[in-house]
Structure 1
Amino acid sequence: MTETHIWYTIGNIPKQPANEHFLKDLIIISSIPIAIVAFIGNGIVCCLFWSKWKSSRFFLYFLNIAIANIAILINVFVSFPKLYLQVRIYNLFQHLVQMVQYLGHNTRFYILTAICAERYLVIFFPALVKHYRSQYTSVIVTGILWGLSCLISVVDDLACSRRFYITNMEYTVHCVPFTILIIILELVIFLFIMGFSTVSIFIRMQTQPTPPARLDITILTTVLLFLVTDTPTRMIQTLSVWFALNNVSITIATTELLDCINCAVTPFIFLIVGCWKKTSEPIWLFLERALTAEESMAEGPQVEQEQV
């Protein structure tokens, strides 16, 4: 978000030395085609998931991840014309777009954590899940996580925007406690749950006699993508409240590039996992199969139809 310690975007890159200018421009320009591919891919995923809705707990989660990816990408398309085409964009509008990007960034993280946690419970405590889980659990969890992300976005904007404070002391008094809360919530609680659940699922995949379910492959690949492209950015931007960043413009541009890569690769994960050894079917069936919990990656005449 604008002028906050947590969220740097290409819309508010500060002036930089000449030797950083070329590298920064190269990174940002490279982000544009990736962002276009990502926007189209996630748009297709949203349309297919919405039109071919299944009563599966994980369809709703992955649909919302695709929506969050689109929210993240909007800022790239708004900021690029302002920086390079001299298009006039009102600061308030750009600020709102950056808040939407931050909202999508957090929501994607929270929903992915919910996917890992629920899959862990389904695998290791199936009787408990069957007894206590209602058919509206996915809707409730998704709504709560979007609400939590909205709350964090608003509080961050109020607590950590320097435009509200005259002195650094005022900024520190309000922003540091919020940053500590974010560290506890995201890096200690959510990241721990995601890591523990993912490692448990991976160990189970390696020890079970049957080939792994496609859903587990999808989850593990998506989490790995998140850890590579999202976690370093999140940690750097959170710690920036205490430590000054070197080469700020390059850091901001790189975080945008990593976000674009994350958004672009996610639809291809569905496609690759879903079409493995089955390449002559409609694309929708590839997406559906990528979220199938019981069908294995092994090729065989019998296809399980159970969705969990």
Structure 2
Amino acid sequence: MNYTPNSSPALGLTISPTMDPVTWVYFSVSFLAMVTCVCGMVGNAVVIWLLSFHSAQRSPFCVYVLNLAVADFLFLLCMASMLSLETGPLLTTSTSAKVYEGMRRIKYFAYTAGLSLLTAISTQRCLSVLFPIWYRCHRPRRLSVVVCGVLWALALLMNFLASFFCVEFWHPDEYQCFKVDIVFNSLILGIFMPVMVLTSTIIFIQVRKNSLMQRRRPRRLYVVILASVLVFLTCSLPLGINWFLLYWVKLPQGVRFLYICASRFSSSFSSSANPVIYFLVGSQKSHRLQESLGAVLGRALRDEPEPEGRETPSTCTNDGV
């Protein structure tokens, strides 16, 4: 097994009875990650398909969720492609290396976009909690659309700059490219991660306080946001910090590689978990197997209080964009 600085195993690996334990673990985790990626792509494709039918009147959080589902789908597609290239000689070596590097760059582009979109979701929800009058009366009508567009452009710009500096000035010096990735990764995590944690903590405190004072269940949208952020912090964050561990912490090669495999699987699980969260939170216990997926998803993303003892309308069009 070849352990490289940019966390890329050798291409064209095959299973052999003489493989070492680390390689066997790699193939096992890669298989689990591949299955997770396929299931996650199906789930996110369903979310994209359902939300696309409400393009005329879509709530701000439906816009964010639609864009997040696209980012997660792209991330999982690239992860599955990388795993396929690593575990089988699908292409020639030179072509595989180029395709693999392209998939790796697109994967981190999707990772950056997903992280920023999830931060925007928690931030806008936090603003609606702290400043409800402003949010209802003075929030720009197309704020969510503009924010999503800016975040996609920012993620594309940062990843383009990282690729440009790497290829233009230091190719084929992988160690210099590795340091460039560390710099941009530090900027991404250093900006978005604290904002996500802070806003999510504020949301949790406000939801907890309102639940105790009003003795009412929290809105499903709060649960969706907090659950998505929690899953990201526990499962997808290791992929974002693995560069720091590889660069600063002197770990044995086998341990480093096993950490890479684990972070890949956990990040794949994180990107696959959001559709499951939406449908679990949005489902009614008494009608769990009778409602359409669109009705369940619309209820989970509803940005209004839920009447006590009554079923809420299943809509994703309760608020203008």
Determine the structure 2 residue equivalent to 1:120.
126
Which deviations, in whole Å up to 9, do the C-alpha atoms of 1:64-86 show, x marking residues without a partner? 11111111112233233333332
- The 3-state SS of whatever aligns with 1:241 is helix
1:142-221 map, 5 Å: 142-160=148-166, 164=171, 171=176, 175=179, 179-180=182-183, 182-183=185-186, 185-208=187-210, 209=214, 210-221=216-227
1:100-111 map, 5 Å: 100-111=106-117
Size of the aligned set, in residue pairs, is: 298
1:26 to 2, 25, 28: 28
Determine the structure 2 residue equivalent to 1:263.
271
1:217-296 map, 5 Å: 217-246=223-252, 247=254, 248-277=256-285, 278-279=287-288, 280-296=290-306
Q: CA deviation at 1:132?
A: 3.9
Q: CA deviation at 1:239?
A: 4.4
1:301 aligns with 2:306: no
Look up the equivalent residue of 2:31 and give its one-letter code: I
- The 3-state SS of whatever aligns with 1:52 is coil
2-side partners of 1:14 and 1:100: how far apart?
A: 22
1:95 to 101, 111, 118: 101
TM-score using structure 2 length: 0.82
Q: CA deviation at 1:126?
A: 1.9
Is the 8 Å Cα contact of residues 279 and 297 (structure 2) preserved in structure 1? Answer: yes
Look up the equivalent residue of 2:63 and give its one-letter code: L
Which deviations, in whole Å up to 9, do the C-alpha atoms of 1:231-283 show, x marking residues without a partner? 12212224433344532332222222112211221111000000043423211
Amino-acid identity (%): 23
5+ residue gaps, structure 1:
none
Determine the structure 2 residue equivalent to 1:129.
135
Is the 8 Å Cα contact of residues 31 and 256 (structure 1) preserved in structure 2? Answer: yes
RMSD (CA atoms)? 3.0
With 199-208 and 93-102 compared, the bigger mean Cα shift is at 93-102
Q: CA deviation at 1:307?
A: 4.1
Q: CA deviation at 1:12?
A: 6.2
5+ residue gaps, structure 2:
none
Alpha-carbon spacing, 1:9–1:218, altered in 2? closer, same or farther (3 Å)? farther
1:52 to 51, 54, 69: 54
Which deviations, in whole Å up to 9, do the C-alpha atoms of 1:106-146 show, x marking residues without a partner? 11000000000000101111222344422221111001111
Is the 8 Å Cα contact of residues 242 and 260 (structure 2) preserved in structure 1? Answer: no
With 271-280 and 104-113 compared, the bigger mean Cα shift is at 271-280
